[in-house]
Structure 1
Amino acid sequence: MPKTGTFSHISLSVSDYDNGKKYYNFLLADLLGYKKVMEHPYYTMWTLSSGECVCISPGNKTPHHKQNPGLHHLAFNVGTHEEIDQFYEKIVKFHEENKDLTGCTILDKPALYPQYGEGYYAVFFTDSDNIKLELAYTPNYH
């Protein structure tokens, strides 16, 4: 398969690097199957076997808002409705057990979103910096 135009990596700045590593290790490694491949004082990287990478690095304390220029939200593919429901329960539990990670919020519980396409099923939530995240099942996009 040609690599031209495919997703390579995304790098996010986080206001609290230790909290960011904790949150994204849960999301990426524990839920989505990424492997942490690098951790330095200036960035941490997780990757899938197919090559896509997510990195975080220390940033400033300016709050993120999806309406500002830049990243609106980051969505990850999930294979089934059932997986999203299972991941949702784990995200809720993680948020409850890690109240020190302020800003972590469930925005919309798992549901069908026909306005985004037939069969589109997703859950929306935020990380500790209020970056909007999504887990999505998109059967008609592939």
Structure 2
Amino acid sequence: MSDFGLLHHVEIQVSDLESSVGSWAWLFDVLGYTPYQEWNGGRNWRHGSTYIVLASAPRDGIHDRRDAGLNHLAFHAGTTQNVDRLWEAAPQNGWNQLYVDRHPWAGGDEHYAAFLDNVERFKVELVATDPTE
């Protein structure tokens, strides 16, 4: 399969790189990303031909996913059992569980997913490959 049209990379600007790395590193690891590069002010993880960068933001400010801009990242997360396992492990790894009262169907009756955010309120969605599994 060609990489044409797939994401090449995503860069996430964080207010404090050192305090952000832990939660993101856990998530990237469980999703199959491997550490790729590290430099003063940034790190990245690779999965296939895609990589994700965490970098220190050059300006002060607070991220708010409800403002104009990127709202969240959604990842394929395997089976429903795997999504459940990640949901349970997330709070011990720097992620808050969102929409607890509607989990795992917060995205709709046919969309099995875990919704999480971290201390900087970056939101991720971990989507089951097949909600009937």
1:39-72, CA deviations, whole angstroms, 9 ceiling, x for partnerless residues?
A: 1013201011x21111110014411111212111
Comparing 60-69 with 32-41, greater Cα deviation is found at 60-69
Stretches of 4+ aligned residues off by more than 2 angstroms: 112-115
Change (3 A) 1:64 1:114: closer
Q: What's the offset of the Cα at 1:113? A: 4.5
Q: For 1:93, what is the secondary structure of its paired residue?
A: helix
Change (3 A) 1:107 1:113: closer
1:52-109, CA deviations, whole angstroms, 9 ceiling, x for partnerless residues?
A: 11111001441111121211111111110000111111112223xxxxxxxx422124
Match of 1:91 in 2: 90
Q: TM-score, normalised by structure 2?
A: 0.86
Match of 1:55 in 2: 53
For residue 132 of structure 1, what is the amino acid of its counterpart?
K
8 Å CA contact 1:39–1:45 kept in 2: the answer is yes
Match of 1:111 in 2: 104
Q: What's the offset of the Cα at 1:36? A: 0.3
Q: Percent identity?
A: 25
Structure 2: distance between partners of 1:61 and 1:23: 21
Give structure 2 stretches of 5+ with no counterpart. Answer: none
Across the two proteins, how many residue pairs are aligned to each other?
128
Root-mean-square deviation (CA, aligned residues, Å) is 1.9
Higher relative contact order (CA closer than 8 Å, sequence separation 6+): 2
Structure 1: distance between partners of 2:86 and 2:66: 26
Matched, 1:139 2:125: no
Match of 1:22 in 2: 22
Match of 1:42 in 2: 41
Give structure 1 stretches of 5+ with no counterpart. Answer: 96-103
Q: TM-score, normalised by structure 1?
A: 0.81
Match of 2:113 in 1: 122
Q: What's the offset of the Cα at 1:16? A: 0.6
For residue 124 of structure 2, what is the amino acid of its counterpart?
L
Structure 2: distance between partners of 1:4 and 1:51: 11
